Structure 1
Amino acid sequence: MTPEFDLAVVGAGLMGAATAWAATRRGLSVAVLEQFDAGHDRGSSHGSARIVRRAYPDPVYLRMTGRAMELWRELETDAGTRLLRIVGGIDHGRLRDPERLAAALATAAVPHELLPPEEAARRWPGLRFDGPVLFHHEAGTVDAARAVAAFLERAGARGADIRHHTAVRRIIPNQEAGIRLETAEGATLTTRRAVVAAGAWAADLLGGLVPLPELTVSQQQIFHFPRRDPAAEPWPVVVHKDALNTYSLPGGRDGGPHDARKIAEHNAGGPTTAGTRDGKVDPAARDRITAYVRDWLPGLVPEPFNEATCLYTSTANDDFVLDRAGPLVVCSPCSGHGAKFAPLIGEMATDLALGGAPPEPRFTLAAHTAQAGNTGAAQWPV
């Protein structure tokens, strides 16, 4: 039996949608199967603002940020829409090690500045600092929801068969047809290769098929705080690691008419599953972030006007999972810092589906198995 498609993509969040875009740009026939509505908020790819930035101390991720930025620009050109908002990026805090980040950026020839706290406070009134501050220009936000829509629209324009409300319930490797996918409605689809980019649902789909590492699903809380001076220039995105591990960024459409600030703790949510999350914001998290705003962001009104939850799907060491097992590609990069890499992840997943080597040894299934229990590899997400 001849397969119906060259490639099926299971999941149409940022990573799955990016894979469809990459694969159709190479002329592959592609089907995309997504269990929910277009633009749903059940996973990790909704909302109007995610951080993009170059500042990583790890040369693997630092190198990847450069190519990802190029591909975001290619998507903007292809789709004829603006998705990136470049406002610069700040890293500070006694546990963030701005000097180490500055050294990494210098090695990669990424423009940056290392500032004393007094100079940073003068440059960005309304933010408070108590140690060295790293600033680099090539950082900002990407509109996640519109990026997903752009990836899928351009993939569809190149012939992709995009099916929402189509939940894959079973993946069956088949020597003759490559892979057979069975949906909740009882339909089947055959494909030469499949990329599973199912985020928090990955373990349910892939269990027993590949040696998947342990993936921890957690529910994170985000909050939006209004600026005291809404007419002021937008602040850069900020990653601050001290008593709390926080990030903040311009909120975009979710920030209301005055572009309120989106703020959250990184990886502070409790464990859950894709099927049992309650979507409720933890009052203790709200109190911690409100107190943080009072202490460190005096340019904001310390009263959140908007709040939401999302899911992280994380490995033990925060490294991505990008590998192939036979005709099946596992694409679970998440770990709270995957969004900025989405178009590059799509390219890498497509390379794997076409028989290419894993993009990075650390991302392979075997490496995650060998590293089980070792949580020291990445640890610099957001």
Structure 2
Amino acid sequence: MESTEYAVVGAGLSGAATAWHLAARGHDVALLERSTPANDAGSSHGSARIFRYAYPEDFYTALVQEAKAGWDELARLSGKQLITPTGAVDYGQVRQPERLAAVLAGRGIDHELLSAQAASERWPQIAFDTQVLWHPDAGVIDAHESVASMVDQAVAHGAQLHNNWAVASITAANGGYVLTSEDGRSLHAANVIVAAGGWLPQLLGSLSLPSSFLSAIPQIQVRQEQAYHFPYADQPDQAESPWPTFIHKRAGWQAYGLPGGRDADFRGQKVAEYNGGKILPSAADQDGQIDPANRRRVIEYVKQYMPGLIPEPYAETTCLFTNTPNEDFILDRVDGITILSPCSGHGAKFAPLIGQLAAGLATGTASVPDQFRLAAQAGHVEAGAHA
């Protein structure tokens, strides 16, 4: 039986980042991916994820600043532009732009708080209904290229990538763990890091986890999200009126959007309803089908609030959101198993930092913020805090 010091389950953004940091520290690493890295069935595919600093509390904004150093390092090592600067606008009564502005001011991050009229003059393609927070250092992450770059770095430092290796169970054995694949292969690892995204719920019952640790894991909800690409009414002049990313949060409704990039042939804006998709038992139950009611809601939203878009999507897709009840991430460890769920629709921007934190946690050389540990989360459940 093949053996390794660290087995990382899942080659999405967080798993690839963890494998990179472990291998760069000189550890023996096997990266196990049920398909191929950043495949379309997971949460880390495509060219369009939002990178932003705006959060309603200092904790996550400070972590974005830490993560940016990792993104800069990865861009240097890969020679690729992984984050395209676009800036971001945040608005809507529930979004509380004033509160976001106060957090950015406290962290020394460049921003402006604009009236709806001033913002409409700057971005006539968007209809604003409240004050607007603008922070120019936001942008769009190319998730696929980021995963590929981190996998490349891991492999360059000696990690072994195993594609088409779907983990079925992880069992304690011989002072470590035996990982068994769905097709019967096995691997012995001294330590295991589970970064399985939407497959985590179905794997939890197949892990050698103490009952007290398992019972402390909050209910993890997997949704099949839907996103639509709407064509620009006029091809934007990026020098004069670029399309920023946006988050618009009203009572009972949250929409987000960003330039679709390569995913949309650079022709339009990707727009979606946040957590508007159906709930799944796990990622294995996704069917890739668009809900017509969701499509209608998003089209009506675009008609009302996006005058710079033609309200007829020319492309549409589904993806996975894996949510915790309070939208905090899970990074915790028991015995030799580390569980990662940097999720809830806002984890992509932290990927290099998540890998660094996970590597430190798995090796016992560093801690992670208490907010990500299960003991702390048991007393802090406030849904929607970090969107």
TM-score (norm 2): 0.93
Name 1:50's counterpart in structure 2. 49
Q: Which amino acid aligns with 1:379?
A: A
Name 2:248's counterpart in structure 1. 240
CA contact (8 A) 1:322 1:358 kept: no
Q: Which amino acid aligns with 2:355?
A: G
**Structure 1, residues 278-321: CA drift from partner, whole Å, max 9, x if none?**
21111111111111111111011110000000111111111100
Larger mean CA deviation between 11-20 and 208-217 belongs to 208-217
SS in structure 2 of the partner of residue 4 of structure 1: strand
Tell me how far apart the structure 1 counterparts of residues 146 and 97 of structure 2 sit (CA, whole Å).
30
Question: How far apart are 1:39 and its partner, in Å?
Answer: 3.6
* Mapping 1:84-123, distance limit 5 Å: 84-123=83-122
Name 1:194's counterpart in structure 2. 192
Question: How far apart are 1:94 and its partner, in Å?
Answer: 1.2
Q: Does 1:148 align with 2:155?
A: no
Tell me how far apart the structure 1 counterparts of residues 224 and 370 of structure 2 sit (CA, whole Å).
29
Tell me how far apart the structure 1 counterparts of residues 18 and 43 of structure 2 sit (CA, whole Å).
16
Q: Select which of 155, 176, 179 maps to 1:178.
A: 176
Larger mean CA deviation between 206-215 and 297-306 belongs to 206-215
Q: Which amino acid aligns with 2:373?
A: T
Name 2:136's counterpart in structure 1. 137
Percent sequence identity over aligned pairs: 45
SS in structure 2 of the partner of residue 310 of structure 1: strand
Q: Select which of 343, 349, 354 maps to 2:363.
A: 354
Tell me how far apart the structure 1 counterparts of residues 72 and 365 of structure 2 sit (CA, whole Å).
24
Q: Relative to structure 1, is the Cα distance of residues 231 and 58 closer, same or farther in structure 2, using a 3 angstrom cutoff?
A: closer
Larger mean CA deviation between 354-363 and 32-41 belongs to 354-363
CA contact (8 A) 1:5 1:191 kept: yes
Question: How far apart are 1:370 and its partner, in Å?
Answer: 3.8
SS in structure 2 of the partner of residue 337 of structure 1: coil
Question: How far apart are 1:339 and its partner, in Å?
Answer: 0.8
CA contact (8 A) 1:324 1:358 kept: no
SS in structure 2 of the partner of residue 15 of structure 1: helix
Q: Select which of 199, 212, 219 maps to 1:214.
A: 219
Q: Select which of 355, 367, 372 maps to 1:363.
A: 372
Tell me how far apart the structure 2 counterparts of residues 321 and 39 of structure 1 sit (CA, whole Å).
21
Larger mean CA deviation between 157-166 and 238-247 belongs to 238-247
Name 1:40's counterpart in structure 2. 39
SS in structure 2 of the partner of residue 47 of structure 1: coil
**Structure 1, residues 73-111: CA drift from partner, whole Å, max 9, x if none?**
111111111111011111011111000000111111111
Question: How far apart are 1:50 and its partner, in Å?
Answer: 0.1
Tell me how far apart the structure 2 counterparts of residues 275 and 152 of structure 1 sit (CA, whole Å).
24
Question: How far apart are 1:187 and its partner, in Å?
Answer: 2.2
Larger mean CA deviation between 119-128 and 91-100 belongs to 119-128
TM-score (norm 1): 0.94
Name 1:340's counterpart in structure 2. 349
Tell me how far apart the structure 2 counterparts of residues 80 and 156 of structure 1 sit (CA, whole Å).
16
Name 2:201's counterpart in structure 1. 203
Tell me how far apart the structure 1 counterparts of residues 202 and 172 of structure 2 sit (CA, whole Å).
16
CA contact (8 A) 2:332 2:339 kept: yes
Tell me how far apart the structure 2 counterparts of residues 158 and 90 of structure 1 sit (CA, whole Å).
39
Q: Which amino acid aligns with 1:336?
A: G
Q: Can you give the 5+ residue segments of structure 1 that lack an aligned partner in the other structure?
A: none
Name 2:329's counterpart in structure 1. 320
Larger mean CA deviation between 132-141 and 360-369 belongs to 360-369
* Mapping 1:20-39, distance limit 5 Å: 20-39=19-38
SS in structure 1 of the partner of residue 283 of structure 2: coil
CA contact (8 A) 2:11 2:36 kept: no
Tell me how far apart the structure 2 counterparts of residues 111 and 257 of structure 1 sit (CA, whole Å).
27
SS in structure 1 of the partner of residue 371 of structure 2: helix
Q: Which amino acid aligns with 1:25?
A: A
CA contact (8 A) 1:18 1:151 kept: yes
SS in structure 1 of the partner of residue 284 of structure 2: coil
**Structure 1, residues 246-285: CA drift from partner, whole Å, max 9, x if none?**
1110101111143x10000111212112122221111111
CA contact (8 A) 1:224 1:305 kept: yes
Q: Does 1:379 align with 2:385?
A: yes
Tell me how far apart the structure 1 counterparts of residues 111 and 272 of structure 2 sit (CA, whole Å).
25
Q: Does 1:266 align with 2:274?
A: yes
SS in structure 2 of the partner of residue 54 of structure 1: coil
Tell me how far apart the structure 2 counterparts of residues 23 and 137 of structure 1 sit (CA, whole Å).
33
SS in structure 2 of the partner of residue 220 of structure 1: strand
* Mapping 1:255-334, distance limit 5 Å: 255-258=264-267, 260-272=268-280, 273-334=282-343
CA contact (8 A) 1:235 1:250 kept: yes
CA contact (8 A) 2:11 2:38 kept: no
**Alignment length (residue pairs):** 375
CA contact (8 A) 2:46 2:263 kept: yes
Larger mean CA deviation between 330-339 and 206-215 belongs to 206-215
Tell me how far apart the structure 2 counterparts of residues 25 and 92 of structure 1 sit (CA, whole Å).
41
Question: How far apart are 1:60 and its partner, in Å?
Answer: 1.3
